[in-house]
Amino acid sequence: MNGHHDHEEEQLGKALDFRLLRRMVRFARPYRLLFAAALLLAGGITVIELAMPYIVKMAVDSVLVLPWLEVQADAPPVAGAVPYDPGTFLVLGRHLSEPLRQALEEEGRVRRRFLVVSSAGAEAELARRYPEAFRLTPVGYAAPEEALREIPAADLLRLRLSAVQMLGVLTLAYIGFLVLRFLLTYGQVYTLQYAGQRILYDMRRAVFGHLLRLPMSYLDRQPVGRLVTRATNDVAAINEMFTQVLVRLLQDLLMVAGVLGIMFHLNVRLTLILLAFTPFILVLAFWFRERAREAYSAARRVLARINAYIAESLSGMGIIQLFRQEERSRKSFAEINQSFFRAQMRSITVYGVFGPVISVMQNLALALLIWYGGRGVLSGAFTLGALVAFTSYIRMLFQPMVNLSEQYNILQAAMVAAERIFGILDEPAEPTGAQSVPAVRGEIEFDHVWFAYNDEDWVLKDVSFKVAPGERVAIVGPTGSGKTTIIGLTLGFYRPQLGTVRVDGVDLREVDLRDYRRKLALVPQEVFLFSGDVAENIRMWDGVVPAEAAERAAKAVGVHDHLVQLPEGYRTQVKERGVRLSVGERQLLSLARAVAADPKFIVLDEATANIDSQTEAQVQEALERVMAGRTSIAIAHRLSTIRNADRVLVIHEGKLVEEGTVEELLARKGLFWALWQLQFAEDGGSSGS
Ligand SMILES: Nc1ncnc2c1ncn2[C@@H]1O[C@H](COP(=O)(O)OP(=O)(O)OP(=O)(O)O)[C@@H](O)[C@H]1O
Ligand SMILES: [Mg+2]
């Protein structure tokens, strides 16, 4: 059995579906304040990120590059210009308007850059020491850039003290922004992840809570692995959307808008040229993501197969070894393993190409920037600082576009997941009536019941019988005849397509099932023990059943002596630390569970099949006690159970073929007689009836 793993075709993406999106967002509504906070933080982070290259630009343009220009002109080109050589003026670069500056550059009138220091104080004194470099002008001592090369570094730094100080301030501002960005980013990630995890928690609770209420007829049709995937993986895929897409997308859009704004402000033409790259980047990114997604989901499909194969082999290891299938098993595994390896490598190759290709695109843009932008700086079309800032902004422009393709993938995956999850949540819960059955007397009636698990594949055909309160009824019949099915209908797990099942005269459809089930107990054909200790498994965590009742029940079915010998007695964990119970012991435990519930009527499904004859006698005695005064329906292959029944129903191929006491049925020499001959002849003979 490999029920634990998805047989699931990994579905590729799904187009945007706003109805689904709205339903998903509904889960986020309780946390909308957190999302708003994350969005606010996103705004802050974007502003900071935009500001950081600008600081670098400022450092370059207003500090590192000498601010004064020597301009050739007959008259002062702007106010504040001071004469230098005959026919030239010194001008502060930033005082020139952009068109004027460009005009001057094109006419070749801008000559050298100058350092100007105050004409008084320590700097002036220092400047006077280098008379061949500095000349006194109305704005202070001025020296052309090339003359500065003759001055020793230490003096130069002192001459440019204010610039050094400004550099310090800018560096501090840069570090300050770094710290702030770290804090805001941390806050944002935390807020988003917190909200995301809460949504995840809520969704898992909703899905599991709904699974608990689904009818058996639905659960029968679902592979367990698929439902497990719904409650875990699919929910996680939706969480991705909330944490990676919802806020990030807006943040990325904000970033693109901000970068474009600054870039256009710095230089329109350069920006337009670089924008020519965006279609390539977008197309490439989306094309690669598509390939990556296909490769990834192919790898996931094979991984599911590997998991299923390992799980199946582990649970059947005994059989594999016994039938010496190790070699075949190794071979099959090697095959799956190999295809997983290939799928992984494909996925890795796609990603391995994707990153570098995008990087090449970005660097091509950078190369263009250096070529075109460098010329611009040389011709004075824009500043060196702007060029430096552009190299950062260009990355900040392209990254969100690359992100966009990933976000689109996540969104599509979330759509698929959401469709599946809402598929479960929309599945109608087990229908139940409202009528409570206060004191179940235990009268069960099947009235012309027809039932099929699937369509018209009738498992029960026109079955009618009545069990009186306090009566003991045994059901016998060949394997697959529909005995367990009758019990499923009696407990309300399934509803008949035709006919009616009644309890105490009330149609089971009208009955409040939870209320009804509280009053009965089932000892199922396949024992199920929950992880938990032995006592809890007997009491079923029911506060109503007192602790001693577990022990009393265990004594009644004769498993007490064994249980106290377990390492921690009744507190022994059933599934942990290797404490395993034998199949017979499990059945006794299951029987004790029914006894402890002290039900009005009790349903047994071959509960005594795996018990030795000595224990069986003990159990029989316990059953006698449990069944006394209660209604009981027992599916039994055991002679003792059948013999003590008030009435025996014989089921064959979904039909009730015979009915009566053991003696009556044997006298008829029908199917029951034949079964009896086959199964119990020897047993019956030895008990010497
Ligand atoms: N959940 C289910 N979905 C579909 N078909 C089912 C389901 N459970 C049982 N069946 C089918 O219904 C028929 C009756 O099954 P049922 O379990 O009632 O037999 P049974 O009389 O209890 O047999 P056994 O003596 O082996 O326990 C079988 O053919 C079986 O394949
Ligand atoms: Mg059965």
Q: How far apart are CA 537 and CA 542, in angstroms?
A: 10
Ligand 2 centre distance from Cα of residue 483 (Å): 6
Ligand 2 centre distance from Cα of residue 596 (Å): 24
Amino acid symbol at 523: V
The atom of ligand 1 lying closest to the CA of 478 is: 25
pLDDT for 257: 95
Facing residues of 463 across strands? 449
pLDDT for 339: 94
Q: Quick one: pLDDT band at residue 518, thresholds 50, 70, 90?
A: confident
Task: Specify the DSSP class assigned to residue 510.
Answer: G
Residue 608 has pLDDT above 60, yes or no: no
| pLDDT, average across residues 613-622 | 73
pLDDT for 16: 72
Strands 472-476 and 631-635: parallel
Weakest mean pLDDT among 86-90, 145-149, 170-174, 567-571: 567-571
| pLDDT, average across residues 228-241 | 86
- How high is the mean pLDDT of the chain? 86
Weakest mean pLDDT among 281-285, 578-582, 626-630: 578-582
DSSP string, 96-142: S-HHHHHHHHHTT-EEEEEEEE-SSHHHHHHHHT-TTT-EEETTEEE
pLDDT for 683: 52
| pLDDT, average across residues 657-676 | 89
The atom of ligand 1 lying closest to the CA of 606 is: 27
Neighbour count for residue 344 (Cβ, 10 Å): 16
Write the CA distances from 598 to 358, 370, 499, 612, 658, integer angstroms.
Answer: 71, 87, 30, 25, 31
Strands 82-83 and 88-92: antiparallel
Q: Quick one: pLDDT band at residue 627, thresholds 50, 70, 90?
A: confident
Residue 334 has pLDDT above 90, yes or no: yes
pLDDT for 41: 96
Ligand 2 centre distance from Cα of residue 470 (Å): 23
pLDDT for 13: 55
pLDDT for 115: 92
Residue 438 has pLDDT above 90, yes or no: no
Ligand 1 centre distance from Cα of residue 671 (Å): 19
pLDDT for 232: 85
Residue 613 has pLDDT above 90, yes or no: no
Residue 47 has pLDDT above 50, yes or no: yes
Of all protein residues, the one whose alpha carbon is nearest to atom 26 of ligand 1 is 479
Beta-sheet strand order (sheet of 88-92): 82-83, 88-92, 68-72, 110-117, 140-144, 135-137
Residue 155 has pLDDT above 50, yes or no: yes
The atom of ligand 1 lying closest to the CA of 221 is: 3
Q: Which residue has the higher pLDDT, 42 or 586?
A: 42
Tens-place pLDDT, residues 49-101: 999 999 999 899 888 888 899 999 888 888 889 999 999 999 988 888 878 88
Q: Quick one: pLDDT band at residue 6, thresholds 50, 70, 90?
A: very low
Residue with tokens 């009955």: 511
Ligand 1 site, CB within 6 A? 220, 453-454, 459, 477, 479-485, 525
Tens-place pLDDT, residues 565-576: 888 888 888 875
Residue 227 has pLDDT above 80, yes or no: yes
Q: Quick one: pLDDT band at residue 546, thresholds 50, 70, 90?
A: confident
Burial (Cβ within 10 Å: 0-12, 13-18, ≥19) of residue 393: buried
Residue 607 has pLDDT above 70, yes or no: no
pLDDT for 204: 92
DSSP string, 29-77: GGGHHHHHHHHHHHHHHHHHHHHHHHHHHHIIIIIIS--EEEEE-SS-S
Ligand 2 centre distance from Cα of residue 635 (Å): 8
Residue 529 has pLDDT above 90, yes or no: no
Residue 549 has pLDDT above 50, yes or no: yes
Q: How far apart are CA 626 and CA 624, in angstroms?
A: 6
Q: How far apart are CA 587 and CA 604, in angstroms?
A: 11
Contact 195, 247 (CB under 8 A): no
Q: Which residue has the higher pLDDT, 550 or 611?
A: 550
Ligand 2 centre distance from Cα of residue 493 (Å): 15
CA-CA-CA-CA torsion sign (313, 317, 323, 327): positive
Residue 1 has pLDDT above 50, yes or no: no
pLDDT for 533: 84
Residue 517 has pLDDT above 80, yes or no: yes
| Two structure tokens written together for 7 | 């047989």
| Two structure tokens written together for 549 | 């009742």
Domains of the chain are: 432-476+492-519+602-661 (3.40.50.300), 528-598 (3.40.50.300)
pLDDT for 299: 87
The atom of ligand 1 lying closest to the CA of 217 is: 1
| Two structure tokens written together for 152 | 């020793």
Report which bound ligand comes closest to the CA of 494. Answer: 1
Q: How far apart are CA 512 and CA 121, in angstroms?
A: 98
The atom of ligand 1 lying closest to the CA of 485 is: 18
Ligand 1 pocket test: which of 224, 484, 522, 608 has the largest number of ligand atoms within 8 Å of its C-beta?
Answer: 484
Ligand 1 centre distance from Cα of residue 318 (Å): 27
Of all protein residues, the one whose alpha carbon is nearest to atom 30 of ligand 1 is 480
Residues 6+ apart with CB under 8 A from 341: none
Ligand 1 pocket test: which of 479, 485, 655 has the largest number of ligand atoms within 8 Å of its C-beta?
Answer: 485
pLDDT for 684: 47
Ligand 2 centre distance from Cα of residue 180 (Å): 68
Ligand 1 pocket test: which of 224, 456, 481, 610 has the largest number of ligand atoms within 8 Å of its C-beta?
Answer: 481
pLDDT for 11: 53
Of all protein residues, the one whose alpha carbon is nearest to atom 24 of ligand 1 is 479
pLDDT for 481: 92
Contact 237, 414 (CB under 8 A): yes
